[in-house]
Chain A
Amino acid sequence: MTVLSLARRSLWNRRGTAALVVCSVALSVALLLGVERLRTEARESFANTLSGVDLIVGARSGPINLLLYSVFRLGDPINNVSWASYERIAEHPQVAWTVPLSLGDSLRGFPVLGTTQAYFTHYRYGRDQSLSLAHGEIFDGIFDAVLGAEVARRLGYDLGDEIVLAHGTSAVSLTQHDDKPFRVVGVLERTGTPVDNTVHISLAGMEAIHVDWRGGAPIPGLSISAERVQSMDLTPDSITAVMVGLTSRRAVFQVQRQINTDRDEALMAIMPGLTLQQLWDLMRVGENALLAVSALVMLVALTVMLTALLTGLNERRREMALLRALGARPWQIFALIIGESLLLSILGALLGVVLLQGLALGASGWLSGQLGLTVTLWPPTLHEMKILAILFAGGILVGLWPAWRAYRNALTDGMAIRM
């Protein structure tokens, strides 16, 4: 009992060094867990965004590029799909349904998606879950808008509010479509996907706000009022991409091939699951490099702990001898040092988890806004438990050397006359 309380006091006496060691372990734990969490959350969130879509069709560019801009609203398309091609795809005998997507405008930084009502019927996320309205209804008129959950929350809009869309996708836009405001008619339930960050309007609405525009700018002197536009033909000339569902998934190669070799327009069809997998394959190198660096940082933290314990030993020779004199056995001295290094790593791990939790809470708004990621930290996954277990094992391992030295010293110091 006295041995333990003496050990506690001894540690308290060295609290400065101990705190630094705990801090370095905590920082390394926060880094390693943070990298790991961000990696798995990004994967989870990407993988959960789309389900049940067999093909995505867009202008011929790269498969990953097409997937990123059409589904995740990341990056920009290089070209559009003509309306004629869209109709041809929609009429293909093996195509069961199509959802046109038209992008390019924004509402205070949140992307605006022009689409049809089919989007709400066919879009699936997670494990075959469909979109549902928190309140209100799906758009029907030209100037109706349905907001994603995050848009409504962040901008504080509710049913019946008027919104003014902006041209382009930047958060600050100098060209507003303020002559044709939209009305919020519905707000969607939260999904944890980029849908939460999207403003949905009809294709006709998208066409209507650009009807007096040519080549990316309003035509000077020409202004068509919101009332007059209602009577115009608002079929778009082109759209950004198309989501396609097939009558049979086995026909996917054939339809994909037909679209990819289309002689009228340079189109490209991708299978979202395969493309996402290719994206992971591409990112794996970077992910592994990040993981390796954070593992090295943890190694450095453990080395810091080893250094602190070893240098501490010399200062504590007297203390050890005292403990021995009080009747502590050499193995107790050994256990004491190991226990100390384990305690330091446990404290470090706890502090690291708390630190990361705080960081995640602070950055969650930014993460969901910028990347559409929802990062939750608790409860830790099995994999993270494993990382912590490895850390604790490392802590014990690091303790072995100083513990062995202390054990030896305890024996020799006990017998040596000079002390």
Chain B
Amino acid sequence: MIRSLFRSLAAAALLSLALPSAAEITLEWDDMIPEGWPPPELFEGINIDELQDDDPEAIEFFAKIEQLWDEAPVVESLDGKRVRLPGYAIPLEGDSRSVTSFLLVPYFGACIHVPPPPRNQTVLVNMAEGKTARIRHAFFTVWVTGTMSVETSETDLALTGYTITADKVVPYEPEYGD
């Protein structure tokens, strides 16, 4: 009796810890890709299975994909929202203990063996004033909580993308049974 009471209390406590506060949206990486992108007609007439790496057709196809990647559009409605997003952290600035700025990407090893994640799947995270994050190893998995800003520029593609000003970065623990 008492034991089951304890158990349910513990479960409630855990649940309240795991649940984000109402104000923030827990984002998934797909939420950051606008509907209808990438255009499905891109893959028409291409049989990915049969493509060889050094096939000129394949080179052309991948060049086209990479260019499309570079021009990937962003979801502007996310601007100003308070979000929570998991991902792999790649340190940019910091000292030996903590970082103040890093890139967040959705897949491990992004940027080394395969084409890099498109612009709308790369988030620049700047820590809020006076806050730092601990990145324990390369491609450390974290939950980032902060304010999203979406920058767009017609003239310079490089200026288009997502930035989160984060006030909380914690190691990622998978949430089972949600």
Tell me whether A and B are bound partners.
yes
- Give residues in A with beta carbon < 8 Å to B: 40, 43-44, 46-48, 51-52, 54, 93-94, 126-128, 246-254, 256-257, 271, 273-274, 276-278, 280-281, 284
Contact A281 B138 (CB under 8 A): yes
- Cβ of B91 under 8 Å from chain A: yes
Q: Chain A interface mostly helix, strand, loop or mixed?
A: helix
Instruction: Give per-residue flags for B115-132: 1 if the beta carbon is below 8 A from chain A beta carbons, else 0.
Output: 111010010100000000
A-B contact pairs, 27 of them (CB 8 A): A43-B96, A44-B95, A44-B96, A52-B93, A93-B158, A94-B158, A128-B93, A248-B158, A249-B101, A249-B103, A250-B103, A250-B119, A250-B124, A250-B158, A250-B161, A250-B163, A251-B157, A253-B116, A253-B117, A256-B111, A256-B116, A271-B92, A273-B92, A273-B93, A274-B91, A276-B91, A277-B138
Query: When the two chains form their complex, are residues B70 and A248 in contact, meaning their CB atoms are under 8 A apart?
Result: no
What 6 A-B pairs are tightest by C-beta distance, nearest first? A253-B116, A43-B96, A248-B158, A47-B96, A251-B158, A273-B91
Chain A residues near B93 (CB, 8 Å)? 51-52, 128, 273
Q: Which B residue sits closest to A48, measured CB to CB?
A: B95
> How many B residues face the partner with a CB closer than 8 A?
31
Asked if A273 meets B158 with Cβ closer than 8 Å, knowing A46-B96, A252-B103, the reply is no
Q: How far apart are the CA atoms of A128 and B101 in the complex, in Å?
A: 12
In whole Å, how far is B126's beta carbon from the nearest beta carbon of chain A? 10
Q: Is there a chain A Cβ closer than 8 Å to B156's Cβ?
A: yes
Judging by beta carbons under 8 Å apart, are A273 and B110 in contact? no
In the complex, what's the smallest C-beta–C-beta distance from A282 to chain B, in angstroms? 10
The CA-CA distance from A394 to B135 in the complex, in Å, is 32
Chain A residues whose C-beta falls within 8 Å of the C-beta of B102 in the assembled complex: 273
Instruction: Please determine whether A253 and B99 come into contact, CB atoms closer than 8 angstroms.
Output: no
**Across the interface, which residues of B come within 8 angstroms of A252, CB to CB?**
103
Contacts across chains A and B counted by CB atoms under 8 Å = 78
**Residues on the B chain within 8 Å of A253, using CB:** 103, 110-111, 116-117, 122
Give Cα distance in the complex from A324 to B67, angstroms. Answer: 90
Residues of chain B whose beta carbon lies under 8 Å from any beta carbon of chain A: 66, 69-70, 90-96, 99, 101-103, 110-111, 115-117, 119, 122, 124, 135, 137-138, 156-159, 161, 163
Residues of B within 8 Å of A126, CB to CB, are 95
In whole Å, how far is B149's beta carbon from the nearest beta carbon of chain A? 12
Q: With contacts A127-B95, A271-B90, A278-B138 known, what are 8 further pairs, Cβ within 8 A? A: A47-B96, A48-B96, A51-B93, A52-B93, A250-B119, A253-B117, A273-B94, A274-B138
Tell me which residues across on chain B come within 8 A of A254, comparing CB atoms: 69-70, 116, 119
Q: Is the CB of A247 within 8 A of B156?
A: yes
Tell me which residues across on chain A come within 8 A of B138, comparing CB atoms: 274, 277-278, 281
What's the minimum C-beta distance from A417 to chain B, rounded to whole angstroms? 57
What is the bound-complex CA distance between A391 and B94, given in angstroms?
32
Interface centre among A44, A48, A126, A274 (most CB of B within 10 A): A274
Whether the Cβ atoms of B103 and A40 lie closer than 8 Å is no
Closest-by-CB residue of B relative to A52 is B93
- A257–B70 Cα distance when bound, in Å, is 11
Q: Closest CB of chain B to A71's CB: distance in Å?
A: 15
A143 to chain B, nearest CB (A): 37
Which A residues lie within 8 Å of B137 (CB)? 277, 280-281, 284
**Which residue of A is nearest B111, CB measured?**
A253
Complex contacts, B124 vs chain A, CB 8 Å: 249-250
Give the residues in chain A near B135, CB-CB below 8 Å. Answer: 277
Contact of B159 among A54, A127, A248, A274 (CB under 8 A): A248
Residues of A within 8 A of B122 (CB): 250, 253
Considering the chains assembled together, what is the distance between the CA atoms of A48 and B97 in angstroms?
Answer: 11
In the bound complex, how far is the Cα of B95 from the Cα of A126, in angstroms?
7
CB pair B90 A274 closer than 8 Å: yes
A93 surroundings in chain B (CB, below 8 A): 158
Bound complex: CA A44 to CA B115 (Å): 33
| Known contacts A94-B158, A250-B158, A257-B111; A277/B70 CB under 8 A | no
Tell me the complex Cα distance, A94–B119, Å. Answer: 14
A276 to B99, CA, bound (A): 12
Q: Is the CB of A273 within 8 A of B161?
A: no
Residue of B nearest to A260 (CB): B112
The minimal Cβ–Cβ distance linking A349 to chain B, given in whole angstroms, is 25
Most buried by A among B70, B95, B96, B116: B96
CB-CB under 8 A from B96, the residues of chain A are: 40, 43-44, 46-48
Complex contacts, A251 vs chain B, CB 8 Å: 157-158
Contacting residues, chain A, for B156 (C-beta < 8 A): 247-248
Cα distance A48–B158 when bound, in Å?
28
Contact present for A247 and B158 (CB under 8 Å): yes
Docked CA distance A284–B138 (Å): 12
How many whole Å from A391's CB to the nearest CB in chain B?
24
